[in-house]
Amino acid sequence: MELGMSYRLICSDIDGTLLNKNRELSKKTIEQVQRIAPVPFVLLSSRMPKAMRHLQNEFGNTTTPLIAYNGGLVIGNNKILHSTCIDNKVLEVIINQCSETTIHLSLYFNDEWYVPSMDYWAKREANNTKVVPLVKSNRKVLSEWEEEGKGAHKIMCMGDEVEIDRLYKALEENYPNEIMLYRSKPTYIEISHKSISKKTAIEVLLKECYPAISMNDVVAFGDNYNDIEMLKSVGLGVAVSNANLEVLAIADKVTDTNRNDGVAKILEELF
């Protein structure tokens, strides 16, 4: 399972794992990913596809599949291989609960990102992901999605820590079987469908795009709670050393931090 095994696919989380302190790809990371091509280097993230494509452009691997929304959307061979959205009834409840608060609600479907206004949270997220959202009220988005048969791949709640805390507890209590809540920061809740994960997304990807490759042939990189299941299920699960303690505890290997080219250093060593 260690060195000497020939790994055939690499999957990497983005924020906190692959990007440096300026939320960019370092020169060394780009060089290593290009050096090891044709080994596919797949980006997987809670981001939307549009917030990942500029990174693929920098790597020059724009034809490689993408795993967006923590596995809610898998794109390969220019088509959607897998898509799981949150039920609109649940979305309606979340909109109602947030309307009584100052919480900002961002709604995502595929490459569409809607915000009720370009407030502090929308600007911050746009700056971080290099994507500009569309401004439209949450209720208008919901009614259009209901007509078009769409739903949210991801719902992002951002705001006051106390209000976010209250919302988190209410949703956790009322929808344990429908949605998965992930608190990347005290002021953020990322919501996705309960059934998805980065691990299941990699399995879809292998089946649809790389049938000759097994989970044992995969190297994966991560830093946060939503990476744990993935890191445990691949051939080599690597944590960056700035990862959460729980992630460090289950990783097969720990590399340097995201700020110090941790991913690039392992690629250098393995390939």
pLDDT in tens, 190-225: 999 999 999 999 999 999 999 999 999 999 999 999
Q: What confidence tier does 185 reach under pLDDT thresholds 50, 70, 90? A: confident
* Least confident piece of the model among 105-109, 125-129, 232-236: 125-129
Q: What pLDDT sits at residue 78?
A: 83
Give strand pairing partners of 240.
255
What pLDDT was estimated at residue 5? 64
Distance of alpha carbon 95 from alpha carbon 211, whole angstroms: 41
Question: Which amino acid appears at position 117 of this protein?
Answer: S
Cα 168 from Cα 157, distance rounded (Å): 10
pLDDT at 2 > cutoff 50: no
Task: Say how far apart CA 78 and CA 82 lie, in whole Å.
Answer: 12
Dihedral over Cα of 56, 148, 69, 198: its sign: negative
Structure tokens at 85: 């959205």
Q: Which residue has the higher pLDDT, 2 or 264?
A: 264
Per-residue pLDDT at 179: 96
Residue range 172-180: mean pLDDT, rounded? 94
Domains of the chain by start residue, with CATH:
9-83+196-270 (3.40.50.1000), 88-193 (3.30.1240.10)
Residue whose C-alpha is closest to residue 159's, from 127, 115, 196:
115
Position with higher pLDDT, 86 vs 128: 86
Check whether 3 has a pLDDT greater than 80: no
3-state secondary structure the chain: CCCCCCCCEEEECCCCCCCCCCCCCCHHHHHHHHHHCCCCEEEECCCCCHHHHHHHHHHCCCCCCEEEHHHCEEEECCEEEEECCECHHHHHHHHHHHHCCCCEEEEEECCEEEECCCCHHHHHHHHHHCCCCEECCHHHHHHHHHHHCCCECEEEEECCHHHHHHHHHHHHHHCCCCEEEECCCCCEEEEEECCCCHHHHHHHHHHHHCCCCCHHHEEEEECCHHHHHHHHHCCEEEEECCCCHHHHHHCCEEECCHHHCHHHHHHHHHC
Q: Are 242 and 221 in contact (CB under 8 A)?
A: no
Residues belonging to the chain: 271
pTM to 2 decimals? Answer: 0.93
Split at pLDDT 50, 70, 90, the class of 128 is confident
Of all residues in the chain, the percent with pLDDT exceeding 70 is: 98
Q: What pLDDT, in 10s, does the model give residues 24-68?
A: 999 999 999 999 998 999 999 999 999 999 999 999 999 999 999
Residue 4 pLDDT exceeds 80: no
Residue 1 has pLDDT above 80, yes or no: no
Amino acid at 121: W
| Tens digit of each residue's pLDDT (9 = 90 or more) over 158-168 | 999 999 999 99
Return all residues near 47 (Cβ < 8 A) that are at least 6 apart: 14, 15, 68, 69, 129
